[in-house]
Amino acid sequence: MPEGLQVKDLCVDRSERAVLVDVNLNVDSGESLAVVGPSGVGKTTLLDALCGLARPKSGSVLFDGFDVSANSVSRTAAWRLRTIGIVYQFAELLPELTLAENVQLPLLLAGQGLATTIDPMSSALESLGIGHLADSLPSAVSGGERQRAAIARAIVHRPSLILADEPTGSLDPQTAGVAAQLLLQAAAEVDAVLIIATHNPAVARLTDAVLDLRLSTTSCAA
């Protein structure tokens, strides 16, 4: 059974408009890919298709042999919970929970007891420089700090596939570099596939390969 991510002839429409047309890519376990292109070219739509939130008009998406594009909504949701860590362009933290509680959520949803989630949660927050904000609500911290908490939430359960949509967009350049490196390190530690949609050339240069959706071609990163 093939491992990693395989996308073949992927076409996705949004509001009756073709957003992705004949996208093909292969990313092996432990590799990283930056998805680049101007706003509106389909970077977020591609990430949605990779995790089963957007159904393709045609083509296929497979991850470690699981057919994301053809399984039922319920099976795909269960697979997504086990397998994927996601960072969206906007943090999308639950406003009534502290940063610590937001980061603990993937572990709790996976069935871990509360006591066993404390160490990995603390480690993830500390690694992103916001351990001192663990007990703060999202509304009490800056946008950059919220995004760092969202990154911590995505990596805390050691997923096999990490999808990051502009994860450094609200961070200052120094913190953006740290966050990108952390994502790469987390993916490497668990032999995960890492897909980063980004406008930041410095972030794209850190990955193993780059997919320019204007061309729908993949090239080796410099």
**Does residue 71 lie in a domain region?**
no
Find how far residue 140's CA is from the centre of its chain: 25
Furthest CA-CA distance within the chain = 48
**Does residue 68 lie in a domain region?**
no
**Does residue 21 lie in a domain region?**
no
Q: Give first-to-last CA distance, the chain, whole Å.
A: 31
**pTM for the predicted model, two decimal places:** 0.85
Q: What is the mean pLDDT of residues 103-129?
A: 91
CATH code, domain with 162: 3.40.50.300
Cα gap 28→39, rounded to integer Å: 27
CA angle 199, 201, 40 (to 5 degrees): 20
Which range, of 76-90, 150-164, 176-190, 202-216, averages the lowest pLDDT? Answer: 176-190
pLDDT 10s digits, 9-63: 999 988 778 889 999 999 999 999 999 998 889 999 999 999 999 999 999 999 9
Q: Is the pLDDT of residue 82 over 90?
A: no
Range of the domain at 203: 29-42+80-220
Domain count, the chain: 1
Q: Is the pLDDT of residue 136 over 50?
A: yes
What pLDDT does residue 85 have?
92
151 pLDDT band (50/70/90 cuts)? confident
Cα gap 147→129, rounded to integer Å: 12
The mean predicted confidence, pLDDT, of the chain is 88
What pLDDT does residue 141 have?
95
**Does residue 23 lie in a domain region?**
no
182 pLDDT band (50/70/90 cuts)? confident
What pLDDT does residue 105 have?
94
**Does residue 18 lie in a domain region?**
no
Please indicate whether residue 219 or residue 222 has the higher confidence score (pLDDT).
219
What whole-number percentage of the chain has pLDDT above 70?
96
**Does residue 22 lie in a domain region?**
no
- For residues 52 and 97, is the Cβ–Cβ distance under 8 A? no
What pLDDT does residue 216 have?
61
121 pLDDT band (50/70/90 cuts)? very high
Cα gap 62→6, rounded to integer Å: 5
Q: Is the pLDDT of residue 90 over 90?
A: no
**Does residue 118 lie in a domain region?**
yes
What pLDDT does residue 221 have?
44
Q: Is the pLDDT of residue 78 over 70?
A: yes
SS3 (DSSP) at 212:
strand
What pLDDT does residue 2 have?
58
**Does residue 57 lie in a domain region?**
no
Highest mean pLDDT among 95-104, 146-155, 172-181: 95-104
Cα gap 86→90, rounded to integer Å: 11
Q: Is the pLDDT of residue 195 over 80?
A: yes
